[in-house]
Structure 1
């Protein structure tokens, strides 16, 4: 770990400890009633306790399964579609209006429609996660194609390589870091949508269902906040793994060189 990385990690830990201390002090001092905001130490203890609850862990596993399936489907759809739209301007022009119409639609607003079509089960959750996750990957793929090296493309064409060879050998390789960044963004979006879908729909099992049920219980705020802590930890771990993978796979990018400096 470089000096800059150690400094950033230290500042991150300091920020977490500061937030923990503020929440603990606010609750202990009675500024906010404990029924509404339990002490941070109690929330942390409950979060650790849930790690030994098999039923809770099964719910977390269900959320992660929907997350994995939705993100994988989004990659399988968005990368080829981004390559097509980014390399064939006439196709991009033909579907641009449809894409711009669909992109702003919040996935959770589609819960009633998708539930009607697919039923109240994992299929609905996976479909909504896929829908929400497609857009960052799609647009990052298209943007990455536009940033590919013109000289490398001209060189291949000069040696007689066709359009498909240029796309696979130069443009796709150049777009790969952008695609990876899109996947990392979509991974966070997918987790948010998976939990939100469970929370708002009220069906199935998962972390969102645990939070929704805790909301209905008397003095359930402790479990609600513990569930939120788990969601945040999962997001942090997923992002950390993907960032590490990006650094290993694409060490030549300017961002990665700056981190190493």
Structure 2
């Protein structure tokens, strides 16, 4: 049977601060924090609403002190008691993180360069739809979208490598939602009802350079290095209240998970990879 212990036991430091609390956290630390929150929700320590609120705080945390504030009153699952989020003694000097940071930055740059290169491999490749789960593919899709519709408004976009599905307000009738498929061209196939007062998402607010880095490191962020992106969804999150626009990157392979961020690339939630 898996055991747990109090998140406060084994932590050193005074009430005014924690050991190494000022150190910056990594994506893997945020993932571990969300795993603690998921366990706390599963065993009744947290209600669904409080879990969602704390998960948002964990994903926005920049330092261990901020993560400590989210987890301080929770019991820690046995498999996480030796992680940096639960054990300050395991928090390393920021200097030792520099090589890892360099690898992440390099991976993001390589991801962007490979995406751009894939759309410029010669006359044949230039006529193909770029992989829309890459930054270059998303930029090409948005350019085609604007050229076709004259704007960048949408209620929902689902991007696969070679195809996309779209929901957007019907022309001249915001009470109806037009459903459209895309594979190099746009094909409208049905309309449904929608909330007429719902403000569409402005795709022009997407921070594509930041998104490029997130796409390149998404598999690593969810704990599934080597896995691939199955699809990217742009819609309104159901986490908490407000239904803010969000981008969700889904990872599929031997293990699957997802990373959710807002349009500017700020993290909202990570679902750790599982078989």
- Given the two structures, how large is their TM-score scaled by the length of structure 2? 0.30
Normalized per residue, which structure has more strand? 2
**Higher relative contact order (CA closer than 8 Å, sequence separation 6+):** 1
- Given the two structures, how large is their TM-score scaled by the length of structure 1? 0.31
Normalized per residue, which structure has more helix? 1
